[in-house]
Amino acid sequence: MSEAKAPQQRGGYTEDVSAERLAEIGLRFEVDGEIATITLDRPDKRNAQTFATWSALARIGDNLPERVRVVVVNGEGPSFSAGIDLRMFTPEGVPGQGSFSSAARLDSASFEELLEQAQQGFLWLRRPEIVSIAAVRGHAIGAGFQLALACDLRIVADDVKFCMKEPALGLVPDLTGTKPLVDLVGLAKAIDICLTARVVEADEAFRIGLAERVVAGGDLAKAVQEKAAQLLSTNRDAAAATKRLLQGAQGRTLEEQRAAEGAEQAERLRALFAGGS
Ligand code: ACO
């Protein structure tokens, strides 16, 4: 990652997000003008994710160049991501990263810290200053589904297969995916999807609001580029302010939202017509 800063001490251990380290983890990060692209790049293992993946995603978010307005998250190969690396379920775990057995032996505070670090890899994708787009083809299972849900928009190939597998494996989805899922599809459909761990394919994903657009696999990159260009056509600060308003809308009353709109607009008018805020 050409723009990454030097390794930092965070959460008690050093995290290195150089291009070489990202490659070891199975990630790529590229910035082209106002568009950043994160690619899960372990296609031979269907882009399975580890704690190192999430930690690196968090560091990418921490170091995102200010000029970036659109972040595309995609996966190399036939699957967006087959979810957490299944070695986590073995006693040996993932070398250097432990296993579910070792996580189970942590005290509550240590486990909370570990999980929170992982969750930070997902949460930054909702920042008001950016719009994140998941470009999803093939399987998006478990942590893969949750990574797609962490993005603001999902543009999918017609072979997409979303699956919240965690409950089938005795786990809960804990990588911040449950709220966006409920917000997108409603509680009943979210219960149906999660508690059956069934596969949601493209037609249904579009119909229930999980996907903004479905395209043929060969057209996915072009469709994402088109959406990025549309998003970049609006004013940067107005876009961020509008996203803040939209994100807050469900948690506010109409009266509170009216007031929030006024406050954001006052800022905009000052910035546009009074030489700064
Ligand atoms: N972790 C580690 N390795 C994986 C994972 C994974 N989650 N998923 C696939 N792989 C590996 C396979 O072991 C195989 O490796 P190998 O070539 O060394 O034998 C390779 O990726 C290709 O996998 P296939 O199963 O051969 O690929 P296929 O395209 O037929 O199937 C599918 C893809 C459906 C994604 C299948 O691999 C699968 O079901 N994976 C497991 C999904 C899962 O249960 N994930 C956990 C969800 S829960 C959570 O994320 C918290």
User: Of 6-10, 12-16, 165-169, which gets the smallest average pLDDT?
Assistant: 6-10
Distance between CA atoms of 257 and 66, rounded to whole angstroms?
28
How far does residue 82's CA lie from ligand 1's centre (Å)? 5
Distance between CA atoms of 35 and 130, rounded to whole angstroms?
9
270 pLDDT higher than 60: yes
Mean pLDDT of all residues in the chain? 93
Give me the helix-helix angle, 108-123 and 51-62, nearest 10°: 60
pLDDT for residue 1: 40
Q: Which residues' Cβ are closer than 6 Å to ligand 1?
A: 45-46, 48, 78-79, 82-86, 139, 141-143, 165-166, 169, 171
Which residues on neighbouring strands pair with residue 40, listed in sequence order? Answer: 27, 75
Query: Which residues, 6 or more positions from 71, have their beta carbon under 8 angstroms from its beta carbon?
Result: 35, 36, 37, 38, 64, 125, 130, 131, 132, 133, 151
Distance between CA atoms of 259 and 107, rounded to whole angstroms?
44
Looking at residue 79, what DSSP letter applies? -
| pLDDT (mean) for 142-170 | 98
Most confident residue range from 2-11, 99-108, 131-140: 131-140
pLDDT for residue 50: 96
74 pLDDT higher than 80: yes
How far does residue 157's CA lie from ligand 1's centre (Å)? 19
Where does the pLDDT of residue 16 fall: very low under 50, low under 70, confident under 90, or very high at 90 and above? Answer: low
Query: Which residue lies with its CA nearest to atom 45 of ligand 1?
Result: 83
Looking at residue 84, what DSSP letter applies? B
Query: Which residue lies with its CA nearest to atom 38 of ligand 1?
Result: 82
pLDDT for residue 276: 54
pTM score of the predicted model = 0.94
pLDDT for residue 5: 41
